[in-house]
Amino acid sequence: MELIDGNRIAAAIAAELKQKVSALPGRKPCIALVRVGEDPASVSYVRKKEKTAEEIGISSRVILPPATISQAELLTLIDQLNADEGVDGILVQSPLPKQLDELQIFRRIAPGKDVDGLGTMNLGKVAQDDDTGFVSCTPAGIMELLARSGVDLKGKHVVVLGRSLLVGKPVALLALQKKSGANGTVTVCHSGTANLAVLTRQADVLIAAIGRPEFVTADMVKPGAVIIDVGINRVADASKKTGYRLTGDVHFPSVAPLAAKITPVPGGVGPMTVAMLMKNTVKAFEQRSQRS
């Protein structure tokens, strides 16, 4: 069993980007990070994004509207960032407070600045195998992890657990694409799937993004499969100082011995998400520079 080290691969991508950014003349790429309210997980994610941007040489603008902001006010803020020539990429940290319509917010971000890749245009470009768009960061990170770990999906049966806009749907589309590293045969499973374990046991590559702690157990996995665990769940654990431990959607102790390769949680997919956001921001900067 080989552990796929997301921290190491993400650090390699950050080093490549740092080199690229340091060679740029004039102004550096800039990302606007919009965090609404004080959700503890969001606070920590945005801090991590800000820190990584700084390490690479990307400037970040952190905008902190109150949790009480209205839909109209947030849309106005996005319009201002869309029009701002000094901003290359815009990320609105999810989840948003209940009064806000996330999908409408994501759609309002200009496609050329949608570095989180969740707008209609960029998702459509993934479906069309169009590389000019921005792939949402977690799915892009998964494909990068596989490629840099020597896993070619061509001819492989890829089973995706979960159909979210954030991970399940886009990663299924990416694995299907007619290009190097992809060309997989893809099955998408979800809460309405019958005989789930029968399907997961057929997977050469299993991507678990279902949001249920330690859901995937040894009896659901084919020996020799590659396991990508996207889940990050807090589970109560009295032995920890925090009172909880982080676990994925895969029961690591029972599944890892069966796997050819597996991502840990934490330290697997998570660091890749931030690295790919930075990669998208540099790409947005380059595309805008070419147009101007």
Burial 129-143 (b: 16+ CB within 10 A, else e): eeeebbbbbbbbbbb
φ and ψ at 280, to 5 degrees?
-65, -35
The reply to whether 130 belongs to the active site is no
For the chain, the first-to-last Cα distance in angstroms comes to 49
Q: Considering 88, 116, 229, 249, which one is annotated as catalytic? A: 116
As a whole number of angstroms, the distance between CA 147 and CA 129 comes to 17
Give the number of other CB atoms < 10 A from CB of residue 259. 24
Whether 258 and 221 have beta carbons less than 8 Å apart is answered as yes
Q: Considering 88, 93, 125, 169, which one is annotated as catalytic? A: 93
Whether a cis peptide bond, with omega within 30° of 0, leads into 95 is yes
The reply to whether 116 belongs to the active site is yes
Q: Considering 49, 169, 261, 283, which one is annotated as catalytic? A: 49
* Residue from 240, 233, 244, 225 nearest 270 by CA: 233
Whether 73 and 65 have beta carbons less than 8 Å apart is answered as yes
The reply to whether 49 belongs to the active site is yes
φ and ψ at 64, to 5 degrees?
-120, 80
Residue with the two structure tokens 């070619």: 152
| 181 phi-psi bin (left φ>0, alpha ψ -120 to 50, beta other) | left
- Distance (Å) of CA 133 to CA 115, 124, 281: 9, 9, 12
Kindly give the pairing relationship between strand 261-262 and strand 185-189.
unpaired
Q: Which residues are marked as active site?
A: 49, 93, 116
